[in-house]
Amino acid sequence: METITKNNIFNSQKLRQDFPILSKKANGKPLVYLDSGATAQKPKQVIDAISNYYQSQNANIHRGVHQLSQEITIAYENARATIQKHLNAAVSHEIIFTSGTTESINLVANSFGKKYINASDEIIISEMEHHSNIVPWQVLCEEKGAVLKVIPINENGELRIDEYKKLLCSKTRIVAVTHVSNTLGTINPVKEIIALAHEKSIPVLIDGAQAVPHMKVDIQALDADFYCFSGHKVFGPTGVGILYGKEKWLNKIPPYKVGGGIIKTVTFEKTEYADLPLKFEAGTPHIGGGIGLAAAIDYVNEIGLENIGAYEHELLEYATLKLLAIEGLRIIGTAKEKASVISFVIEEVHPLDVGTILDKQGIAVRTGHHCTQPLMEHFGLPGTIRVSLVFYNTKEEIDVLVNGIQKAIKMLR
Amino acid sequence: MRIAEIENELIEEFELFGDDWEGKYEHLIDLGKHLPLIDKQHKTDDRLIKGCQSRVWLHSELYDEKVVFTADSDAIITKGIVAILIRVFSGQTPEEIMQADLIFIDDIGLKEHLSPTRANGLVSMIKQIKMYAIALNLSQNS
Ligand SMILES: Cc1ncc(COP(=O)(O)O)c(C=O)c1O
């Protein structure tokens, strides 16, 4: 399919050729991969970068005097700089490599929590958070006797900013909300959320796991204090992710894991920690992961996030229309601002059954609660079927999906 | 009929469909529609099997030293899978159930449902059936 975007013609058929797995069959049918929200597929540019690292660049970083070690140290730090530029962070040592969004959030909950959370303090999250942005705060609250406050949502799946304003108070120590909901697709007004907290000098963590794959994120414009995302959802490898933290916060909070590589001096009496970013990167990191993630970011920038956004929006509108034409189908999450994620339920059929019959037709979707059980409870649903669309998906695939759903309904009812 | 015989019967029944996944799943759905339903009063949380994306209730009772299972689920394919298990296990003694192997599931082409992480939790169902058998066996012998 071709779409005219600002700068060029968007040719998703051509881009698909960069993704070897997309020509695979599933259950004997051409694979229709509509589960990129769970994990995105990888272009050969990323696969090559990782393979090249293991074939010709492998050495440990920040340690050796030898040439290989120095070269890979430079490459790894270049990868960090690529991510810094991509997010428009002020300096590269504000970019911390982690294993993913989950670890990034755990890092902040632990390190920030250790220093700044006390009994009866309050932490604000929202009703639409992924379990990864609920449980670390819940555990912290239990440990410290602090209180978790939850921003409710309206019937469209949008955050109630009026309620949020009421929750912000002198007891609030941190706000942690998602940029884009993995279940509903809602794009939250994070800039406003951050500004409101900052009026009261409260820092904000943004879970960007579902935002970074779809849109340009300008950390300085948002003024986020912490921002997290996962490599594997932005067409990069699993096992690597990013925590962005404002320098002033990263300097104030203690390391979350300790060991080799983060130390200036160790005596048995006292250890002095290394400067940023190494302070938070104890142990040998996922070097190939960092290299692969940078390759993924380069790849996305080559296509251009604006072009991607425009095309995905078109896919979203097309899919929404086509799905709504199916009798008994109801979309959960009808926010005005949405990323290309669609959750839905169908009368008289269970999401799991639909997912199973779609799978038999080579169509990969996600079913269940999507690690957002409190959100499912809000809608009174055991789960939904979720379709997540990215630039390598096509309108033809949406047609295949719609036919597949119709077949499933016929078989299941 | 003994467990092995019923298993063979099921294998033959599903073999008829060959590569026709639609036929196979339609049959499974049909079996689900005829599942021996659990009595409403037994449809309680303690009979809910954990580890399934769909909810599955399973109940067992001893009649004449044989275990009789009834069940329900909110998903129809899951119901079909439970129905297969019940066809194999209902009316057998606790010992026979405890000792049964379940390779037939592989043979009838539902192997994908056997993966321990599979959302509909066939593995959890089998575990629960065996647990009931062990418990009934103990109560019988005590
Ligand atoms: C919004 C959101 N937050 C956090 C996560 C957790 O990401 P990861 O499993 O890569 O740590 C996900 C992944 O599904 C997500 O969608």
Task: Answer yes or no: do A412 and B29 touch at CB < 8 A.
Answer: yes
CATH 3.40.640.10 fits A48-301, yes or no: yes
Residue in A84, A40, A80, A15 with CA at minimum distance from that of residue A213 = A40
Alpha-carbon distance of A218 to A207, in angstroms, equals 14
Indicate if the pLDDT at residue A41 is higher than 90: yes
| Residue A26: C-alpha distances to residues A113, A341, A362 (Å) | 45, 22, 5
Token pair 């949020």 in the structure block, residue: A164
Q: A412 in contact with B at a CB cutoff of 8 Å?
A: yes
Q: What is the CATH number of the domain that holds B29?
A: 3.90.1010.10
What pLDDT is attached to residue B124?
84
Q: A403 in contact with B at a CB cutoff of 8 Å?
A: no
What pLDDT is attached to residue B116?
58
User: Distance, in angstroms, between A371 CA and closest chain B CA?
Assistant: 12
The arrangement of strands across the sheet holding A122-126 comes to A95-98, A241-245, A226-230, A204-207, A172-178, A122-126, A147-151
Q: A406 in contact with B at a CB cutoff of 8 Å?
A: no
Compute the distance from residue A319 Cα to the ligand 1 centre, in Å. Answer: 24
Alpha-carbon distance of A354 to A412, in angstroms, equals 8
Q: Between B53, B55, B77, which is nearest A368 by CB?
A: B53
What is the three-class DSSP state of B11?
A: helix
What pLDDT is attached to residue B108?
82
What pLDDT is attached to residue A282?
92
Q: B124 in contact with A at a CB cutoff of 8 Å?
A: no
Indicate if the pLDDT at residue A322 is higher than 60: yes
Split into its structural domains, chain B has a count of: 1
What pLDDT is attached to residue A273?
85
CATH fourth-level superfamily of A12-43+304-412? Aspartate Aminotransferase, domain 1 (3.90.1150.10)
Q: List pLDDT tens digits, range B49-95.
A: 876 778 899 999 999 999 999 999 999 998 999 999 999 999 999 99
Q: How far is CA A194 from the centre of its chain?
A: 18
Q: Which residues does residue A329 pair with via DSSP β-bridges, in sequence order?
A: A346
Q: List pLDDT tens digits, range A287-315.
A: 999 999 999 999 999 999 999 999 999 99
What pLDDT is attached to residue A238?
98
Compute the distance from residue A37 Cα to the ligand 1 centre, in Å. Answer: 9
Strand segments, DSSP code E, in A120-208 are: 122-126, 147-151, 172-178, 204-207
Q: List pLDDT tens digits, range A370-406.
A: 999 999 999 999 899 999 999 999 999 999 999 999 9
Alpha-carbon distance of B140 to A60, in angstroms, equals 63
Alpha-carbon distance of B61 to B133, in angstroms, equals 10
Q: List pLDDT tens digits, range B88-123.
A: 999 999 999 999 988 888 888 776 766 655 655 788
Q: Is the dihedral of CA A153, A156, A157, A162 positive or negative?
A: negative
Contact between residue A351 and residue A409 where contact means Cβ atoms under 8 Å apart = no
Contact between residue B109 and residue B90 where contact means Cβ atoms under 8 Å apart = no
Q: Relative to the CA of A238, which ligand 1 atom is closest?
A: 10
Q: A27 in contact with B at a CB cutoff of 8 Å?
A: yes
Alpha-carbon distance of A377 to A385, in angstroms, equals 15
User: Distance, in angstroms, between A380 CA and closest chain B CA?
Assistant: 15
Mean pLDDT of chain A: 95
The residue segments making up the domain with residue B120 are 3-141
Report pTM. 0.94
What pLDDT is attached to residue A256?
92
Ligand 1 site-directed mutation target among A105, A107, A130, A186, most atoms within 8 Å of CB: A130
Q: Between A349, A352, A412, which is nearest B119 by CB?
A: A352
Task: Answer yes or no: do B21 and A27 touch at CB < 8 A.
Answer: yes
Q: Which residues of A are catalytic?
A: 371
Protein residue with least CA distance to atom 9, ligand 1: A102
The ranges assigned to domains in chain A are 12-43+304-412, 48-301
Q: Relative to the CA of A179, which ligand 1 atom is closest?
A: 1
For residue A195, the one-letter residue type is A
For an interface test with A, give the residue of B28, B52, B55, B76 to mutate (most A CBs within 10 A).
Answer: B76
Q: List pLDDT tens digits, range A164-215.
A: 999 999 999 999 999 999 999 999 999 999 999 999 999 999 999 999 999 9
